[in-house]
Homo-oligomer: A and B are copies of this chain.
Amino acid sequence: MQLDYSHQQNWHFESGQHQSPINIDDQSVIDWQRGSAIEIDYQNQVSEAHNSGNGLEVLVNGTAILNYRKFNLLQFHVHTPSEHQLNQHTFAAEVHFVHQALNGTKAVIGVFFELGAPDPVIDSIMQHWSKPGQFAIKLTDFIPADPAYYHYLGSLTTPPLTENVEWYIIKEPVTLSSEQLSFLQTLMPKNNRDLQAVNDRPILYRP
């Protein structure tokens, strides 16, 4: 079909088909041997830990190498219960490490929490919650030992829901205690966006 370049205002712009979160179906992922291992270099000093109005948000600096490129860490925040699902399973919570590259590309590393032993990072945050001033956390404690992850292209999960976000969802969950989960839920009882359709998107798996 020949396009009408004299009436471009009538052209239709398609968007909104690449939203997040999604269910990751382990049976339909594409093996991605070329994917690079996630390399994080997060600083331990917390600039600020507060309730964003929508739950725990922590401002901290650092960098990550994702798919061979350098991203700057902007903040991390927590959703209860998890936003992504793995084989239709919803986890107790999900932490999102939000990054941005120099060209504007956003990338989020997601880590699932299930109930179990207390998490040392959330423990530090709870200890310093009502006290002013900076404190240190060891963010590498948040990251599971098994580096396997899923990767797909999606969106922010809160308005403006902007697309062009690279997602890196780590397969192995970490744990938090029921007391820690209660602390997070006190800040915001439920802050998970509804599941979105996968549509034509490939989900890659980097073992």
- Chain A contact residues, CB within 8 Å of chain B: 1-3, 5, 8, 11-16, 18-19, 30, 32, 34, 53-54, 67-70, 102-105, 151-153, 158-164, 166, 188, 190-194, 200-202, 204
B-chain residues with CB within 8 Å of residue A163 when the two chains form the complex: 15, 163-164
Stoichiometry, as copies per complex, reads 2
Chain B residues, CB < 8 A from A152? 103-104
A53-B1, A53-B2, A191-B3 given; A160·B102 CB < 8 A: no
Whole-angstrom distance between the Cβ of A17 and the nearest chain B Cβ? 9
**A102 B14 Cβ-Cβ under 8 A:** no
Q: Across the interface, do B16 and A16 meet the contact criterion of CB distance under 8 Å?
A: no
- Residues of chain B within 8 A of A158, CB atoms compared: 3, 11
CB within 8 Å for A13 and B160 given contacts A53-B1, A191-B5: yes
- Residue from B2, B153, B159 within 8 A of A3 (CB atoms): B159
B160 x A12 contact (CB < 8 A): yes
Give the chain B neighbours of A14 by CB distance below 8 A. Answer: 159-162
B30 adjacent to A161 (CB under 8 Å): no
Closest 10 CB pairs of A and B: A14-B160, A68-B68, A15-B15, A13-B161, A164-B164, A2-B53, A11-B159, A3-B54, A104-B153, A8-B194
- CB closest residue in chain B, given A162: B14
Chain B residues in 8 Å Cβ range of A193: 5, 8
Q: Which residue of B lies closest to A164 (CB)?
A: B164
Max chain B C-beta neighbours (<10 A), residue from A32, A34, A104, A201: A104
| A105–B15 touching, CB < 8 Å | no
Chain B: CB-nearest residue to A12: B159
Q: Cβ of A190 and Cβ of B151 under 8 Å apart?
A: no
| Chain B hits for A19, CB < 8 A | 13
**Complex-state Cα separation, A191 to B1, whole angstroms:** 13
CB distance from A187 to the nearest CB of B (A): 11
